Amino acid sequence: MSTKQNAVSLQIPLKPDKVAEVTELLNTGGNPALKQTFFSFKKMPTVHFARWIVVPAGKGIDPSLVYAGNIDGDKQQHLKDLVDHLGDDLDQIFKYCQGYPDGGDTDTGNRLAFLKKHAIPTQGFYVGAPNRTVQQIHQEGELYDALRTFVKDNGSQWKNSKEAYTAIKGFVGSDPKWDWARKPYHTPKVNILATAFLALLLLVLLPVLIIFIILIHFFYELRAKPFGKTQSQIPLEHLAALKDQEDIIYQNQLSQVFELKGGLRKLGLKFFLWATSWGARNTFVMGQLMGTPTIHFARWVIIDGGKRFVFFSNFDGSFDEYLGDFVDNNGWGLNAIYGAAKGYPRTFFMFGRGSYRIAEFMGWGRLTQVPTPIWYSAYPWDGLQQIVDRSKLRMELFNSGELNDAQIKQMLRRI
């Protein structure tokens, strides 16, 4: 039986004069490739990725902390796990936050109540490898490594793919070590009915959407004030702080904070994020989001009472590759969502231009990016497509009966 992944999001107001101190504290947690003792998510085996960021103050808005956890199972259980396993660390962070009880009044109940009070909804959520627990990803990685070693040590003895397949099946055989893999499992399938529903809904709403696009163009985009800067024009100190946290492990992270345009743009953002989440749950379940095959998890969260929103992504490859791939595969979708952010490159009737002004788009991406002082990955050296392929390999060996020649060759290519 598969376990659904969920998004847990929190926003907690900071004491305005404590931003530097809490940032210094969070920086002792750091990147998953570094040795860390503060806020070690390894104590919670249901966490895929997680982060803490400091959201700077805005016009009439206090600075805040935002937490994002990508987890297996129940959200409320995750909050309890945070309190049970990292309660002392939470106390160290929350002493810089508004409304947190002073030292003598902090206990399990107060910590949990504080977390629940500051939980906020996640408007958009995408999972690259749905319905796989952290444990399953690790186990399928161990199976893959064992098979790679077996093939390397014995492959020269096999005359053809059939002999290789027979030997591999014998190797895993009845070994109780792989009993977990014998349990029935199937990778997620596209939900045809749900996909058709979304397509039909968009078709029915097409006249309204056309009017909406026209209004957006003339009353918002023609008045927009883009940042209009390339990456080479970004302050070097800001760029260096971001790059210090990148390209340390196989995966990377992106945290962005945007000022949100109001009115129709805010309404449109909520609709497009709903549609994105619907598609993510029902259509884009095979390891690619609109043709981009490197995103493990992504989320969009409206914060500060609707005045701003954040975007968090966990992905393979570099910052430039990631944004470049997205523009190539889904630039119009970026325009539909991020056109709601102030400073975004001016779009043309909502879907055109915008991100296709690639140099300006990259500069906007860096200007809206903020450091991610604490970022955790449960499997920092595994690419998304590796995770997807290992699930398929497990199914081919244990859940698919006897394979034909073409299927055997496909299986062997995965090893």
Structure tokens at 232: 């080479």
Lowest average pLDDT, out of 32-46, 53-67, 171-185, 211-225, goes to: 32-46
Is there a contact between 204 and 339 (Cβ–Cβ < 8 Å)? no
Same domain, yes or no: 41 and 116: yes
Domain-ending residue, one of 79, 103, 125: 125
Same domain, yes or no: 147 and 58: no
370, part of any domain: no
**What is the mean pLDDT of the segment spanning 44-53?**
96
| Alpha-carbon gap, residue 173 to 341, rounded angstroms | 55
Is there a contact between 385 and 187 (Cβ–Cβ < 8 Å)? no
Same domain, yes or no: 158 and 81: no
Is there a contact between 19 and 58 (Cβ–Cβ < 8 Å)? no
Same domain, yes or no: 13 and 43: yes
Inform me whether the pLDDT recorded for 412 exceeds 70: yes
**What is the mean pLDDT of the segment spanning 371-381?**
95
Confidence of residue 101 (pLDDT cuts 50, 70, 90): confident
Domain-ending residue, one of 81, 103, 125: 125
Is there a contact between 54 and 19 (Cβ–Cβ < 8 Å)? yes
Inform me whether the pLDDT recorded for 333 exceeds 70: yes
Strand order in the sheet with 5-13: 119-120, 5-13, 64-72, 47-55, 374-377
228, part of any domain: no
Same domain, yes or no: 142 and 95: no
Same domain, yes or no: 121 and 151: no
353, part of any domain: no
Is there a contact between 256 and 388 (Cβ–Cβ < 8 Å)? no
State the DSSP H helix or E strand holding residue 252, giving kind and residue range, or none if neither: strand 251-259
Same domain, yes or no: 172 and 61: no
Number of domains the chain contains: 2
State the DSSP H helix or E strand holding residue 141, giving kind and residue range, or none if neither: helix 134-154
pLDDT at 34: 63
Does pTM top 0.85 for this prediction?
yes
pLDDT at 104: 61
pLDDT at 102: 75
pLDDT at 1: 54
328, part of any domain: no
Same domain, yes or no: 148 and 65: no
Domain-ending residue, one of 73, 94, 125: 125
Same domain, yes or no: 79 and 120: yes
Structure tokens at 43: 């104590």
Range of the domain at 138: 134-186+383-414
**What is the mean pLDDT of the segment spanning 101-128?**
90
User: Exposed, middle or buried, 223 (CB in 10 Å: 0-12/13-18/19+)?
Assistant: exposed
Provide DSSP, 300-361: EEEEGGGTEEEEEEEEES-HHHHHHHHHHHHHHHHHHHHTTBTTPPPEETTTEEGGGSHHHH
**What is the mean pLDDT of the segment spanning 157-176?**
92
pLDDT at 37: 75
pLDDT at 240: 93
357, part of any domain: no
Inform me whether the pLDDT recorded for 9 exceeds 60: yes
pLDDT at 349: 97
Q: What is the pLDDT of residues 186-227, one digit of tens each?
A: 999 999 999 999 999 999 999 999 999 999 999 999 999 999
Confidence of residue 326 (pLDDT cuts 50, 70, 90): confident
Task: Give me the phi and psi of 85, to 5 degrees please.
Answer: -100, -25
**What is the mean pLDDT of the segment spanning 152-176?**
92
Confidence of residue 402 (pLDDT cuts 50, 70, 90): confident
| Alpha-carbon gap, residue 12 to 98, rounded angstroms | 8
Same domain, yes or no: 38 and 70: yes
